[in-house]
Amino acid sequence: MGQVVGGTDYFDSSALVKRYLAERGSAWVQARCNSPTRTIATVDLSRVEVAAAFASKLRG
């Protein structure tokens, strides 16, 4: 069997939050984001959802 190289990962807002905040699953997300052979895709709505998640974390 061959090795799969490259590809695209779709990240929803919960995965994007893990990129910036230490949560369960953050290490996996970081590894995918730091891979030179991976492309990260998301939707425009994620901007609003991630901002809301950060605000919620700040409020406690």
Q: How confident is the model at residue 1 (pLDDT cuts 50, 70, 90)?
A: low
Q: Return d(Cα 42, Cα 1) in angstroms, integer.
A: 30
pTM above 0.75, yes or no: yes
Residues 15-53 have pLDDT tens digits of 999 999 999 999 999 999 999 999 999 999 999 999 999
Confidence of residue 6 (pLDDT cuts 50, 70, 90): confident
Contacts with 10 (C-beta within 8 Å, 6 or more apart), sequence order: 41, 42
Q: What is the pLDDT of residue 5?
A: 55
